Amino acid sequence: MKKRVLFGTDGIRGVANRYPMTAEVCLSLGRATAHLINQNTLNKNNNHSRKSVVIGKDTRLSGYCFEQAIAAGICSMGVDVIFLGPMPTAAIASLTCTLKASAGIMVSASHNSFEDNGIKIFGSDGYKLPDAVELKLEQYTLSDELKSKLADGAKIGKAKRLKNTIDLYEDSLTKHFSNEGDLKDLKIVMDCANGAAYKIAPQLFSNLNANVICIGNEPNGININDNCGALFPLNMAKMVKEKKADFGVAFDGDADRAIFVDNEGELIDGDAIIALFSARLKSLNSLRNNTVVTTVMSNLGLEKALAELGVALERAQVGDRYVSEQMREHHYNFGGEQSGHLIFADYSTTGDGILSAMFMAYLLKSEKKALSEMKKIFIPSPQTLVNISVPKKMPLAELVKTTEAIKLVEKNLNGNGRVFVRYSGTENKARILVEGPDKKTIDRHAKKIANALLEEIA
């Protein structure tokens, strides 16, 4: 497959008004999306004569610019647009199906600061697009071919803004827990990152009678992820201790992932959450094929914890999209990433931080135990993750010194650990992960690899 130019691990992302995140690219992408819809590539299960695309966004200032540019491109090809406003990514995926749209588009740069923005696209089935389809979108976006295929007259698409979408999505979530009652005995601290969850998350949990203490719920267009949310959980952790809450949860900018702290204000490893939720699903006989899908970044300790439960672990490449694809291929129904993306395939087509928070709340209600005790199901192997900025992403296989350093570290670990090196799909960074018997040793190994990589790539 050809190398993709626009799309990274999770859609398109970059600095707003700098290539590729420009209004011009968004206009062309809108046309390309509508063209594939007209060819029935994105909407294989959608045979409605009047085709439409739902567009949502997080709370970034630049979202106004990009949603309008994308919509202009879509309408110019004879496809309608439904604006949903600020909504979590998972809500866009869900409402694409609920509203029988041909595709769904989310304008968001997730956990990045407000200067950035990005685009994620879903097919009519609510799933993120496979690589081959993204490549087709790129080819049409980067060419002038579609300018000769524009609609005219009455065939030009229409755009409208839909109200009550938050209520629609809330209903779709709460129906999965309708037999488990309310959450009146739980106190929850919630950090909405001044992002897409700022309204729906506190509203949903308050409607379930939980005692909700909310921070990061006053977006102004430029404060998304600003010392709040999933990347900055310390404020939430402090609040949990002060208010003596049962747990805390922090969402990222588009709320497709969740980071948790326990009742003592201690951060919980994402792999510990996967272990806890896997145990819960297995106890309910709801874990299909007794298998969980994670990524190559998950800790070896998770494998051990799941094995003790009689649960198998399969690894996909980094990106919740790849976790989802592997789950679909083998008919598994639970998987996720150490970073907090969790996919409950019986409930959702993509990672959903709010759904994860609901699952945690009902788990605590059922078990009637402190989360600080329950998290001990998972004992991590020592792990070091080093992120280094790189000026360019040279193929790792061509970096001789780096390859030699990796092989030497693997030899020294002698089967008692592992090494994984990759480039970020969304940033100019290399990620070096080393696991082993003790922290001091793996820190030293990770530094060796990082130094070799920087020396070669500078």
Q: Please identify every residue annotated as catalytic.
A: 110
Distance separating alpha carbons of residues 458 and 452, to the nearest angstrom = 10
User: Rounded to whole angstroms, what are the CA distances from 381 to 284, 341, 384, 437?
Assistant: 28, 21, 10, 7
Distance separating alpha carbons of residues 263 and 371, to the nearest angstrom = 6
Is the distance from CB of 183 to CB of 205 less than 8 angstroms? yes
Residue 245 CB-half CA count within 13 A:
26
Please report the beta strands in 100-210, taking only residues with DSSP state E, as ranges in sequence order.
103-107, 116-123, 159-161, 187-191
Residue 456 token pair: 């070669």
Residue 321 token pair: 């999209």
Q: Is 298 annotated as a binding residue?
A: no
Interior angle at CA 110, CA 449 and CA 241, nearest 5: 85
CA 80 vs. chain centroid, Å, equals 27
Is the distance from CB of 388 to CB of 428 less than 8 angstroms? no
Omega prior to 395 cis, within 30 of 0: no
CA 62 vs. chain centroid, Å, equals 20
Radius of gyration of the chain (CA): 22
Distance separating alpha carbons of residues 195 and 357, to the nearest angstrom = 16
Q: Is 246 annotated as a binding residue?
A: no
Cβ contacts of 261 within 8 Å, gap of 6 or more: 189, 233, 236, 237, 240, 247, 248, 249, 250, 267, 268
Is the distance from CB of 248 to CB of 355 less than 8 angstroms? no
Q: Is 254 annotated as a binding residue?
A: yes
Helix locations, 175-228, DSSP H: 200-207
Residue 451 carries which DSSP code? H
Q: Is 167 annotated as a binding residue?
A: no
Task: Detail the residues annotated as belonging to a binding site.
Answer: 110, 252, 254, 256
Task: Detail the residues annotated as belonging to a binding site for Mg(2+).
Answer: 110, 252, 254, 256
